[in-house]
Amino acid sequence: MKTRYKTLTGLLLIVQLVCAQNTVDNDFSFLGTSFDDSWKVNSFKIETDALVGSNSINTQMFSDVLFGSTFTPSAKATFLDLQSNKVNTYGFVRTRAEYKVSKTVAIYLKQTEQLGFSVDKNFGSLLVWGNSPFKGEEVSSPSLSYLNASTLSIGASLNHLSSEKWKIKGSYGINVLNHLSQVSANTLSIYTSPNGDYIDVEASNLSLSQEGKGIVGVGFDADFEVRYFIDSVNTISIKALDFNFNFLINQDYLYVDTSLRYTGYTYKVLENRGSILDETDSTIRSELEKGTKRKNYLVLPSRLQLAWMHKMDEANDLALRVESISIGNLAVYGEVRYGHQFSKNLKLVSSLGFGNFTGLLWSEDLEFKAKEKYSLFISLRNMNSLLMAEKVKSYGFALGAALNI
């Protein structure tokens, strides 16, 4: 009996050791939810996320804009060969830092730069290559939109609810709009004369923000996150991010609904260029100035995310996520994510997605924890763009660090 008891006890100890070796905790700040779930006082987290993408413009062209003086001929040819009717492009750089003050309150600081536009492909070609290739042609675009904005937000995050079934977090702050450039039109067409002496512009409900100085506007900013635990392995998450309302300070818009002629004006996207108004005849300019009106408020694009997360076992998880920017007006994106936890200190998440502003997007995310207090995070999007720049239409990265005291 004693021998059998010792044998049984030994087997139980071996099973426990094996289970312990195969079981890892899910205490990750970036590739998990521990930063908010634990809500430890004096904990700190900072993350920078950057991405630029398009359904038509390839990453070589993005690099040409950033670092070159002309477009690579093969990249240009790849763009022209595409069959897309629209050019949708969106890019952002977002940095957010948060510090837990108490068990239910944190303070945050968020800086956001974003640029997005949507135009007809032919009109987009004119904007990219200039109007010289379109001599003797009229190029038009319905529903043209362009936005370039920079904001700084500061406020408080609140742990509204933390139970077995629900977790609700809200962030509310003051939003400072320090840069704005915006263009929109129901229809905009440009005709370039055969010899390039003049261009005719026909606009329907065209509005252009006028450049100002100093702070453009002040308003409020809000993020909201709800997680519902269906059972021990399935979770649904809803996030409403970057919701805002801004009161503009001395911000004028030029409204045009007419036909105009410019003489001697050539537009090239990669060269220095002056204001279109400077090229307008003085009699027409006086008429344009009558269309200048003060705008009092502005709502910038917000994000809505819906995700389903499934815990396959102690070390593997699966997630499906869809995201809409500006209620789908700027971008719609969906992805599938697979995460593997190699140990209690290291986790890798691979994802594959598709969007109308990114095309196909492949991401690899890695988080490493050191001494149970420090977390480092890195994410690379479309690393294949380094080798296939003319075939890939988006790229980006994310970096982060967290301290859990």
Q: What is the DSSP string of 3-72?
A: HHHHHHHHHHHHHHHHHHHH------SSSSSHHHHH--TT-EEEEEEEEEEESS--HHHHHHHHH-SS--
Evaluate the CA torsion angle 362, 30, 53, 321 in order and state its sign: positive
pLDDT of residue 280: 52
In tens, the pLDDT along 361-395 reads 899 999 999 887 899 999 999 877 777 777 787 88
pTM reported for the whole predicted model: 0.82
Say whether 83 sits in a helix, a strand or coil.
coil
Evaluate the CA torsion angle 52, 58, 59, 63 in order and state its sign: negative
pLDDT band at residue 127, thresholds of 50, 70 and 90?
Answer: confident
Mean pLDDT of the chain: 82
In tens, the pLDDT along 77-119 reads 887 777 777 888 888 999 999 999 999 999 999 999 998 888 8
pLDDT at 52 over 80: yes
- Domain spanning 2-403: CATH 3.40.50.1360: no
Say whether 222 sits in a helix, a strand or coil.
strand
In tens, the pLDDT along 309-367 reads 999 998 999 999 999 988 767 788 999 999 999 999 999 999 999 988 788 889 999 99
Q: Letter for the amino acid at 279?
A: E
User: For 121, what's the count of Cα atoms within 13 Å in the CB-facing half-sphere?
Assistant: 12
- Give the tokens for residue 368: 């490493």
pLDDT band at residue 7, thresholds of 50, 70 and 90?
Answer: very low
In tens, the pLDDT along 13-50 reads 333 433 333 334 457 999 999 889 989 999 999 999 99
Residue 348: other Cβ atoms inside 10 A: 15
Query: What ranges do the domains of the chain cover?
Result: 2-403
